Structure formats: structure tokens, C-alpha cells
Structure 1
């Protein structure tokens, strides 16, 4: 059933959580009105500071996110949270574990929390996360916190979606070499060693400093990632994390890096939408005589797969 998009956007701008929820549901469900939604939101976007939080399961991402919400609310800022959960094997939806941990903020009208299911998308985010961030931005959130699913070493997609990326680690969660694998130490702007009341916290900080220094090629004015120790469950060190985030934001604004990151993010979003549309059109060709004819030529040896793919793409884009 069609909805009044203009009215929904107006209500979301007024801070009505049901309108925000409805807009994100339209995004997640790839509604036929999605283009209309994005067009209506566009003039109201570009103001939110997007912070991504990533790290292995068990490091305290949800607790840290909740503590950051409290810190930003103490500053009077409106906060949106996208907590990406693993998909339920039964319903396909999110398991909602993160929302349970953030229940302290459930009744705060200045906080909007949304769990999103990955629905099989790899990299720690849901495929619709960029559009959901856009909804929260347009709804007047000053800060949007995006908490990834916690898949571990390969969870680097958040770096392309956030203004500032926070990587969380904890003592006893593996040695420094393990932490440095697969680029997880290449995406962080701020590193947080949570559960710092445990033995080994100082050693983890030393390992981090060592890893960040290996092969370092930063110039005099380049950003040097901050390392902050916290005990998020008690709120300890959270103020220092917010301070580190604000320093990084100020550095990016001063050097034009923030604008560059947002341009890259927009370009990636456009590319993803375009590739998805092309993939859907190509999928529609299964059983089509053109695809069958190309396959016959490949089997007969009269055409190679790359030339066949070029013909297929040309046919799809021209039709």
C-alpha cells in the first residue's frame, strides 16, 4: 500500500519515531517508493556526524555504543543508532541483541535506535545501511552511531560508510598479530581498548602502538590514530573517546578530509545502486534467448566468455 512520503518525511523531521521507523522499513524492504523517499530526504541530509564502531564479538560494542549515546545526550545532541545484527535463521530479521543492551535509552525522545539484519550481506553491515543513515540524518540526528555485526577480521566495510571509524579491542581477545590481520588495523581513526580493568590492558595498548607504528608513512600533519582505554560498562574513559572523536572531526574539517570522505561515500552509494540495477536486469535474462545463444557460442568455441559478457552488458544497457 502506497504511503504519503512527503508527510512521513515531515513527521520524521519533527522527531516522530514512528515516521522514522516507517521510512527505514521502506528502505529495508526496497519499497517501490524508495526513489521517492530518497528524493524527499535529499535536501535535508549532510548534517549528521557518522561514527562507525567495529570489532570482534565480545569486545563490548553495544555497551560502548550505549555509553557514547549517554555522553552525546549529555551534550544535548540528538543521536541515531543503527545496530546491525546477524539475521535470524528463522525469520530473516535482526536478533535485536543490541537493542536489549541499549534499553536505557528506549524512552528518550532524543535517541532513535534501530536494529537491522545483515540478510546475508558480508562485511559487517546491512546492504541498506547507507540509505538508513540518510534517513536518520534527515530526521535531525546530530550524530549517527553505526554498530557493525561483529564478524571479526574481515569487518572493514564500515570504513567506507562512516566519517570516523572506531575499532574496539579487549584484553585477552587475541595477540597483536591476530588483531592486525586483514586490514582491521588499517581502517581505524580511533582505537578503544575496552574492559581495561582486566589484566593485559596496558599490554594490548603497547601492541596496538607497535602495530600502528609498523611501516608508518604519515606526514607531519597526517592523522595519528588515538588509542583510548575504557571500561564502558561503568562509563570510564567514554569522555576521552568523545574527545578523540571530536579531535578527528576537527582535523578532517580543517584539511578537507571530511568532504572527501563524504564524496567517496556518495560515489560508492551511486555505484552500488547502479550495479544492483544492472544485476537485476541481467538476472531477468535467465532463460532469455540472447543469453542462451551466447552460451551456445561459448560451448562451440566461436566466442570467449569476456566477449560474450561485453555483448550481454551492451544489450542490457541499450535495451
Structure 2
């Protein structure tokens, strides 16, 4: 059933959670009205500061996210949270573990929490996350915290979706130097060693600083990711994390990095939409004679596969 998109967007701007929820549901469900939704949101986007949080399972991502929400709310900021959960193998829905751990903020009208399922999407993010971020941005959130599924070697997509990427580690969990092998030392703008009341926290900080020091040579004025110790469950060190985030945000604005990252994010979003549309058109080739005809010409040696692919793309884009 068609919805009144203009009315929903107006209600979302007023901070009505049901309207925000409905808009994100339209995004997740790839509604036929998705284009209309995005067109209505476009003039209202680009104001929110997007912070991505990632790290191995068990480092306290949800607890840290909740602590950051408290800190930002104390500063009068409206906060949106996208907690990307693993998909249920039975229903395909999110397991909602993060929302359970964020009950402290459930009744706060200045906080919007949404759990999203990856639905098999690699990279630690739900495929609809970029559009959901736009919804929260247009709904007036000052800060959007995007918490990913546990990070792994391929799960570094958050760096492409966030203005600032926070990588969380914890002592005694096999992170340390192993973090370098997972590639996460390449994506972090701020590093947080959570559960710093445990033995080995200082050693983990030293290892991180050492590995960061071995990274690419930095020119004067380049950003050097700080390492902050926290005990998120007690709120310790959270103000220092917020200070590091604010410092990074200021540095990006001063050096033009923020505009570059957001332009790259928009370009990636456009590319993803275009590729998806092409794939859908490829799927419509069932029963079409073009693809089998091109395959025959490749088999006969009359055409190479690259030229055949070029011809197919041309026919799809012109058709």
C-alpha cells in the first residue's frame, strides 16, 4: 500500500519515532517508493556526524555505544543508532542483541535506536545502511553511531560509511598484534582499548601505538590516530573518546578531509545503486537471446569475452 512520503518525512523531521521507523522500513524493504523517499530526504541531509564503531565480538561495542550516547545526550545532541546485528538464519531478521543492551535510552525522545540485519551482506554492514543513515540525518540527528557486526578481514566497510571510524579492542582477547592481520589498523581514526581494568590493557595500548608508528610515514599536520583507554561499563574514559572524536572532526574540516570522505561515500552509493540496477536487468535476460548469442560467438572464437561483455552492457544501457 502506498504511503504519504511527504507527510512521513515531515513527521520524521519533528522527531516522531514511528515516522522514522516507517521510513527505514521502506528502505530495508526496497519499497517501490524508495526513490520518492530519497528525493524527499535529499535536501535535508548532510548535517549529521557519522561515527562508525567496529571491533571483534566481545570487546564491548554495544556497551561503548551506549556510553557514547549518554555522553552526547549530556551535551544536548540528538543521537541516532544503527546497530547492525547478524541475521537470524531462520527469519532473516536481526537478533536484536544490541537493542536489549541499550534499554537505558529506549525512553529518551532524543535517541533513536534501530537494529538492522546484515541479511547475508558481507562487510559487517546491512546493505540498506547508507540509506538508513540518510533517514536519521534528515530526521535531525546530530550524531549517528553505526555499530557493526564483529570485525574480520573483510568486515571493514564501516570506513567507507562513516566520517570517523572507531576501532575497539580489549586486552586478553587475542586482539593486540592480531588486529594488524585483520586489516583494522588501516581503517581506524580513533582506537579504544575497552575493559582497561583488565590485566594487559597497558600492553595492548603499547602494541597499538607501536603498530601505528610502523604505519605509513605521516607528514606534519597529518592525523595520527589516538589510543584511548576506557571501561565503558562504568563510563570511564568515555569523555576522552568524545574529545578525540571532536578533535578528529575538527581536523577533517580544517583539512578538507570531511568533504572528501562524504563525496567518496556519495559516489560509492551511486555506484552501488547503478550496479544493482544493472544486475536486475541482467536477471531479466532469462529467455532473452542476446546472452546465448554472445556466448556462441565467444565459443566460436569470433569474439573475446571482454568485447562480448561490452556489447551486452551497451545493449542493456540502451535497451
TM-score range, shorter chain: over 0.9
Partner residue, 1:150? 150
After superposition, residues 33-72 of structure 1 pair within 5 angstroms as 33-72=33-72
Aligned residue in 2 for 1:8: 8
Work out the CA distance in 2 between the residues paired with 1:135 and 1:288. Answer: 38
Partner of 2:197: 197
Q: Which residue does 1:296 correspond to in 2?
A: 296
User: SS state of the match for residue 51, structure 2?
Assistant: strand
Deviation at 1:175, TM superposition (A): 5.0
Distance 1:197 1:256, change over 3 A: same
Is this contact kept in 2: 1:57–1:152, CA < 8 A?
no
Shift of 1:228: 0.3
- Distance in 2, matches of 1:239 and 1:215, equals 27
Taking the aligned partners of 1:294 and 1:173, their CA distance within structure 2 comes to 53
1:182 CA drift (Å): 3.8
Tell me how far apart the structure 1 counterparts of residues 157 and 287 of structure 2 sit (CA, whole Å).
34
**Alpha-carbon shift at residue 301 of structure 1 (Å):** 2.9
Contact 1:80 1:141 in 2 (8 A): yes
Matches within 5 A, 1:96-245: 96-174=96-174, 176-245=176-245
| Superposition deviation, residue 251 in structure 1 | 0.6
* C-alpha distance in 1 between matches for 2:152 and 2:200: 20
How far apart are 1:254 and its partner, in Å?
Answer: 1.1
CA distance in 2, matches of 1:260, 1:294: 41
CA contact (8 A) 1:176 1:211 kept: no
- Structure 2's unaligned 5+ residue stretches are none
RMSD: 1.0
Task: Write the distance in 2 (CA, Å) between the matches of 1:22 and 1:98.
Answer: 20
| Secondary structure class of the residue paired with 1:176 | coil
CA distance in 2, matches of 1:108, 1:94: 22
Deviation of 1:168 (Å): 0.2
Structure 2 length normalisation: TM-score? 0.98
Aligned partners of 1:54, 1:154: CA distance in 2, in Å? 12
SS of corresponding position for 2:7: helix
Deviations along 1:251-293, whole A, 9 cap, x unmatched? 1111111111111111111111111111111111133111111
SS in 1 for 2:42: helix
Mean Cα displacement is larger for which, 171-180 or 224-233?
171-180
